[in-house]
């Protein structure tokens, strides 16, 4: 079946193997994005969570379709992955601080559009692996490319819904989610063309950096929250004396 600019649907072995590859890629790579979305919507009222997940996933995948055509060139630009990695680390600390239940600090209420904005920024920053993998598996067939990127929406929506519900029952998942985002941020920084050109990192160095940033995100979040609590207590003490 010839779809013109979208390519051909042939149902031969090559087409079907590419289709199966894309489905498997989407299933494997949906996890990181689902973690961000689940953490971003956790502070929303329960009735708004589903809207946040759907709007955020839809907007992010729409931007993915556009960026896929440029991603191979973008990945060669020095410092781009470093900036993206730092952005992911900042988002990880922010979402960790908003999501952790046991800290006695005043937290701002998250709005639907704030959650959607975080989802879109984080998804686009992290989505290079998904876009490259799906782009490679589609072998230039635009129909397969769009199918792969579109299919990631229901996978991410389902996983995000499940994770956000589990986070309510098991707050330890918030720690795991923050660590995963820290790992992703560290991996982006250490594999930037600029960093690779200087350090030539092997597997051991990459894994070590990922571990440091996974733990570091939680440590920074905890220290930042303690500083906020200490600051609030001092201000309250000064106010009482005044």
Confidence (pLDDT) at 210: 92
Output the six-digit token pair for 121: 């920024």
Is 37:56 a contact under the CB 8 Å cutoff? yes
For the packed helices 13-41 and 80-99, what is the interaxial angle rounded to 10 degrees? 50
Q: How far is CA 166 from CA 35, 100, 150, in A?
A: 11, 13, 25
Contacts of 118 (CB under 8 A, 6+ apart): 36, 40, 56, 91, 94, 95
Q: In angstroms, rounded to a whole number, what is the distance separating the alpha carbons of residues 64 and 1?
A: 26
Residue-level pLDDT at 101: 63
Q: What is the pLDDT of residue 71?
A: 64
Q: Where are the domains of the chain?
A: 4-241
The whole-angstrom separation of Cα 38 and Cα 170 is 13
From residue 28, give the alpha-carbon distance in Å to each of 17, 145, 156: 17, 17, 11
Could you give the C-alpha distances from 58 to 63, 134, 201, 202, in angstroms and in order?
9, 17, 36, 36
pTM of the model: 0.69
CA-nearest of 187, 173, 188 to 218 is: 173
Chunked in runs of 10, what are the mean pLDDT values of the chain (242 residues)? 54 72 70 80 83 83 73 69 85 80 56 83 72 67 74 79 82 85 87 89 93 94 86 74 61
Q: Measured between alpha carbons, how far is 22 from 147 in angstroms, rounded to an integer? A: 9
Residue 33 DSSP SS3: helix
């Amino acid at each position: 079946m010839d779809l013109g600019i979208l390519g051909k649907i042939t149902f031969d072995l090559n087409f079907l193997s590419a289709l199966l590859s894309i489905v498997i890629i989407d299933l494997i790579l949906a996890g990181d994005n689902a973690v961000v979305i689940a953490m971003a919507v956790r502070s929303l009222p329960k009735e708004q969570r589903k809207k946040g997940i759907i709007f955020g996933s839809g907007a992010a995948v729409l931007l993915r379709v556009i960026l896929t055509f440029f991603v191979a060139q973008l990945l060669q630009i020095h410092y781009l992955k470093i900036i993206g990695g730092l952005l992911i680390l900042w988002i990880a600390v922010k979402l960790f601080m908003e999501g952790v239940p046991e800290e006695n600090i005043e937290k701002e209420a998250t709005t639907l559009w704030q959650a959607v904005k975080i989802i879109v920024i984080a998804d686009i920053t992290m989505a290079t692996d998904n876009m490259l993998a799906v782009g490679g598996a589609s072998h230039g067939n635009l129909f397969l490319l769009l199918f792969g990127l579109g299919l990631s929406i229901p996978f991410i929506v389902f996983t995000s819904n499940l994770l956000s519900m589990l986070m309510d029952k098991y707050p330890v998942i918030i720690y795991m989610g923050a660590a995963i985002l820290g790992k992703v941020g560290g991996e982006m920084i250490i594999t930037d063309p600029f960093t690779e050109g200087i350090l030539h990192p092997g597997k051991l160095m990459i894994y070590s950096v990922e571990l440091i940033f996974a733990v570091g995100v939680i440590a920074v979040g905890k220290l930042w929250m303690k500083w906020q609590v200490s600051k609030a207590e001092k201000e309250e003490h000064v106010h009482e004396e005044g």
